[in-house]
Amino acid sequence: MIVDGQADFRSLLSHHITTHWSDAIISSYDPVAAGQLPAEFSGAGNDIILLGNQIGERDSLDALQQFVGRLGFPPVIFFGAEAEKSRALKLGAELFFPRDAIRHNALVVGMSDILKSHRASANTGSLFVGDDRAGIHPLIRGYTMIRKLSASSHSAVYLARKDSSAQQIVLKVLRQVPDVADSIGAFDRFLQEYELIADIDHPNIVRIYDLGVGDDHAHIAMEYLDAGDLKQRIAEGIRERDAVRYLQQIASALAEVHNVGILHRDLKPGNIMLRSDDTIALIDFGLAKRMRIAMEITGSGEIFGTPYYMSPEQGHGNGIDPRSDVYSLGIIFYEMLTGEKPYRGDSAMGIIYRHAQAPVPLLPASLSRYQALLNMMLAKRPEHRLGSAAEVARWL
């Protein structure tokens, strides 16, 4: 839970969290607009409280003292001025970070250590079916696990083999843990992820084979894409004609996604995979949002996604529509053509600022034929941008 009176700062912290924990469920509270938290606030249902020092008329260190003085209150990380550090730690803050100079890696490591420490003391055990810490993979009927590919706080991704056909597939597994309050929200979001893409049949969207739901876990079986991701391909260097071909395929996939009422919201090279035949497949809809989904499930007014590829409106926590995904696609196109990210900064907020204020990047003269398209994809204001991914494909 994030408590602070500045929307941009709450969005920045949300970005730091969701970049590392894509399944994180974040609640955000503005004590300036909504009033101070009541004296009986217990923090129940939260793993960590992130408390900023901008909370209106009340002294934030007094609020910190009230919170940590409660039995069973979650650990608190305090964000404030350097002069507040000593007192904040003495009052019981688990960690302190200077508000205007947050280092992403330090924050993630600190939060990870807190989570491990408190979950170990609570003896919650593994979040996955079986004891994953001991190397035992989930027991999913009909599949044999080969190896773990990745993991987050509520889900893990495995390379597996389907017993009936010996086909290699990817299994994404989530467990709903009793007495862990936010796992219910994560479970719902996991199932929504399947519902968002299961009915789409498009050559450039990952194929979904199966959904299984048990008493305390769910799994999605999907296509195994064995040729790496676009991030790796960009690092190796992409020929101009391949960059254009990839752009056409991604735009076509996005157009289909938008056509059924879905925003991706986290389009980046790491979420774009390649098959052995060098075709593109869009994956990882964990941040995708059906345009009509109730906001209480995914939260509102928060940053989701990755700042290097984030539209100005998304970066500032404003409302988004398909044009935001078009902007992200424009950033990816520039990077495919040049091998460079157009906007860089010393911090996430610095990059977000440049997306909103810096001019549209210029391509080298040899690639100038694509500048007009890039201008239309990367316009700062959505109303000046191409209105849909389908328009990108038509322009090409």
**According to the model, what pLDDT value does residue 216 have?**
61
266 as an active site residue: the answer is yes
Cα 180 to Cα 176: distance, rounded to the nearest angstrom: 8
One domain, residues 194 and 99 = no
- The larger pLDDT score, comparing residue 306 to residue 161, is at 161
95 with 148, same domain: the answer is: no
Query: What's the domain range around 59?
Result: 2-122
% pLDDT > 70, the chain: 82
Shared domain for 383 and 236, answered yes or no, is yes
153 vs 100, higher pLDDT = 100
184 and 155 part of one domain: yes
Same domain, 381 and 270: yes
**Who's near 389: CB < 8 A, 6+ residues apart?**
250, 251, 252, 254, 255, 257, 258, 322, 325, 326, 329
Q: Which is the catalytic residue, given 47, 182, 266, 284? A: 266
As given in the structure block, the two tokens for residue 69 are 């003085």
Nearest to 243 by CA among 147, 138, 144, 363: 363
Q: Is residue 127 part of a domain?
A: no
Are 99 and 198 in the same domain?
no
Let me know if residue 68 belongs to a domain.
yes
Do residues 26 and 156 both lie within one domain?
Answer: no
Domain CATH for 258: 1.10.510.10
> Is residue 240 pLDDT above 50, yes or no?
yes
- Output the average pLDDT for the chain: 83
Residue 152 lies in a domain: yes
Could you read off the pLDDT of 122-154 as tens digits, one per residue? 433 333 333 343 344 567 888 888 888 877 666
**pTM, to two decimals:** 0.62
Domain boundary among 170, 195, 223: 223
The residue from 169, 191, 223 where one domain ends is: 223
CA angle 194, 197, 198 (to 5 degrees): 70
Q: Which of 63, 89, 122 is the last residue of a domain?
A: 122
Q: Are residues 302 and 368 in the same domain?
A: yes
Which tens digit of pLDDT belongs to each residue from 289-306?
Answer: 544 332 222 333 333 446
Tell whether 81 is covered by a domain: yes
Q: Is the pLDDT of residue 179 over 70?
A: no
For the chain, give the percent of residues with pLDDT over 90.
47
Q: Are residues 377 and 237 in the same domain?
A: yes
Whether the per-residue pLDDT at 258 is higher than 70: the answer is: yes
Residues 239 and 377 in one domain: yes
| Residue 216 included in any domain | yes
For the chain, the domain total comes to 3
**391, 312: one domain:** yes
Looking up residue 139, the CATH number of its domain turns out to be 3.30.200.20
14-28, 50-64, 331-345, range with the lowest pLDDT: 14-28
116 and 156, same domain (yes or no): no
The larger pLDDT score, comparing residue 20 to residue 272, is at 272
